Structure 1
Amino acid sequence: MNQPLAYVHPGAKIAKNVVIEPFTTIHNNVVIGEGTWIGSNVTIMEGARIGKNCNIFPGAVISAPPQDLKYQGEDTTAEIGDNTTIRECVTINRGTIDRMKTVIGNNCLIMAYSHVAHDCFVGNFCIFSNNTNLAGHITVGDYVVLAGLTAVHQFCTIGNHAFVTGGSLVRKDVPPFVKAAREPLSYVGINSVGLRRRGFTSEKISEVQNIYRILYQRNYNTTQAIEIIEAEMEATPERDEIIMAVRNSSRGIMKGYTGMY
């Protein structure tokens, strides 16, 4: 139901059962799917593509132009999947000519005051706690949890099922299935709790753990570790996903923790 005190541009495409609370502004060239609720004082700017059954809380700004001096006004988008919740004062900028869009997947929870910059790709079932900040051109996999006050450097990649502890500065890529903590950010084990919650068997968790022991705890360099993993570990989707994440890393993966536990 469109409240009389909300402004919706005639060019916006809004499903019939979307709820728009007072004092919200929706610009031209916006698409919002069925069942979505838009709270008060939300600003949804050109290029927003919002899915079904989302909840967007007061103060959020979706699809603002990127905070990038290279942006020349190209026609880009900010896309949010189905069943995703955007809490208070979250800002999500649309893309630039690099990727042409910023994407947040399905079933995500982006908590208050978080920022997702231009050209970020965020997967499904992700949770970003309060004041999480993503710079531009970041790729985040599925089922990633970023605890509060996490800041991620531009062009970083965070793999599926990773957990990054609160207050972290992510300067290097975080491979899949791991826990990341300490300063500088380091491998501190695999995300076994998250993996169990998502149905990974004990055998599969042990397999992932053994791969990371070779990569992080046997004093091999990265090239040596990957060669050993390929030679000694049975080929599985998880093994191959880890290998590809390491090999395709443009910034390099985070290091193992070398201090005392």
Structure 2
Amino acid sequence: MSGKIHPTAVIDPQAELHASVEVGPYTVIGPGVRIGEDSWIGPHVVLQGPMSLGRRNRVFQFASLGEVSQDKTAKKDEATRVEIGDDNTIREYVTIQRGTLKEKGLTRIGNDNWIMAYCHIAHDCLIDDHTIFANGTTLAGHVHVEDFVVFGGVTMVAQFCRIGAHSFSAGGAGITRDVPPFLVVQGNPAAPRGINIEGIRRRNFTAEDISDIKHAYRTMFLAGLRQDEMKAELAGIAQRSPHVGRMLEFVENSKRLIQK
């Protein structure tokens, strides 16, 4: 074994680790696990395949990644998997479980995500890039989280929800419906509370961008419009704002949009 792999670690011969990977004491890495260069796997971690981790990931102690789903229909020998991209931080006691044959058999984590202690990402979830999961956030199965989403601590997300880019959930939120891009949601059940102004300012959105997004929010949740009227108003704003165009696309494809 490489000097970067602790002698108490148990690594299956069918696992593939780049020569630069570090592995801490008492970690177990099963067959079918692939880990990319410059990744660090801490002590007492369990990684099960089929699963791939890209480059420069950090996985802290007691995390369990790639285990069979807790869905009652899932079986350990099914051809399901987890795919994790590059530059992710996965903290203590995080669980990320394999997909199921109910969908494509895939749970996927993108790049540059920050997943804090005790978070759970269930089967068939798709997480895009640059997200933050504060401690104790829990996703049920089949959830899609878009770029730059921030979950406050102990957020709970029900099955099949879609969480739009740049949105923010307050701590303890219970999300049971789709959250459009740029929103702040709070409560259980979660309801819209405005737009994520601070988040989008930090990402260099212009004053004009923010004004258009505010206008779209008022149109969606405060104007009392019928669905067709609301979409028509959003389409007008979207002619000058690609961000509002993204909100309109989300609304048109949502089967259960969050309610005020």
Q: TM-score range by the shorter chain?
A: over 0.9
The secondary structure found in structure 1 opposite 2:61 is: coil
Question: What is the alpha-carbon distance in structure 1 between the residues aligned to residue 87 and residue 112 of structure 2?
Answer: 5
Unaligned residue ranges in structure 2 (runs of 5+): none
Cross-structure match for 2:176 = 171
Structure 1 moving runs of 4+ over 6 Å: none
Cross-structure match for 2:224 = 219
Backbone CA RMSD of aligned residues: 1.1
Residue of 3, 26, 32 corresponding to 1:29: 32
Letter in 1 for 2:98: R
Alignment of 1:81-160 (within 5 A): 81-97=85-101, 98-160=103-165
Query: Does the 8 Å CA contact 2:209/2:241 hold for their aligned counterparts?
Result: no
Find out whether 1:11 has 2:19 as its counterpart: no
* Cα drift, residue 51 of structure 1: 1.0
The secondary structure found in structure 1 opposite 2:249 is: helix
Residue of 40, 43, 58 corresponding to 2:43: 40
* Cα drift, residue 233 of structure 1: 4.8
Query: Does the 8 Å CA contact 2:6/2:25 hold for their aligned counterparts?
Result: yes
Letter in 2 for 1:23: Y
The secondary structure found in structure 1 opposite 2:235 is: helix
Question: What is the alpha-carbon distance in structure 2 between the residues aligned to residue 194 and residue 171 of structure 1?
Answer: 23
Question: What is the alpha-carbon distance in structure 1 between the residues aligned to residue 249 and residue 127 of structure 2?
Answer: 18
Cross-structure match for 2:84 = 80
Question: What is the alpha-carbon distance in structure 2 between the residues aligned to residue 34 and residue 188 of structure 1?
Answer: 42
Cross-structure match for 2:68 = 65
* Cα drift, residue 186 of structure 1: 1.1
Question: What is the alpha-carbon distance in structure 2 between the residues aligned to residue 232 and residue 142 of structure 1?
Answer: 22
The secondary structure found in structure 2 opposite 1:255 is: coil
Percent sequence identity is: 38
The secondary structure found in structure 1 opposite 2:200 is: helix
* Cα drift, residue 235 of structure 1: 4.5
TM-score, normalised by the number of residues in structure 1: 0.95
Letter in 1 for 2:42: G
Cross-structure match for 1:238 = 243
Question: What is the alpha-carbon distance in structure 2 between the residues aligned to residue 231 and residue 112 of structure 1?
Answer: 43
The secondary structure found in structure 2 opposite 1:179 is: strand
Question: What is the alpha-carbon distance in structure 2 between the residues aligned to residue 182 and residue 68 of structure 1?
Answer: 27
Cross-structure match for 2:192 = 187
Cross-structure match for 1:253 = 257
Query: Does the 8 Å CA contact 2:48/2:65 hold for their aligned counterparts?
Result: yes
* Cα drift, residue 232 of structure 1: 5.3
Moved more, 180-189 or 55-64: 180-189
Question: What is the alpha-carbon distance in structure 1 between the residues aligned to residue 187 and residue 224 of structure 2?
Answer: 20
Query: Does the 8 Å CA contact 2:239/2:245 hold for their aligned counterparts?
Result: no
Unaligned residue ranges in structure 1 (runs of 5+): 257-261
Moved more, 178-187 or 200-209: 178-187
Q: Deviations over 1:97-155 (max 9, x none)?
A: 21221111111110000000000000100000000000000000000000101010000
State the number of aligned residues. Answer: 255
Question: What is the alpha-carbon distance in structure 2 between the residues aligned to residue 239 and residue 26 of structure 1?
Answer: 45
Q: Deviations over 1:21-56 (max 9, x none)?
A: 010000000000001100000000011211111110
Question: What is the alpha-carbon distance in structure 2 between the residues aligned to residue 167 and residue 107 of structure 1?
Answer: 24
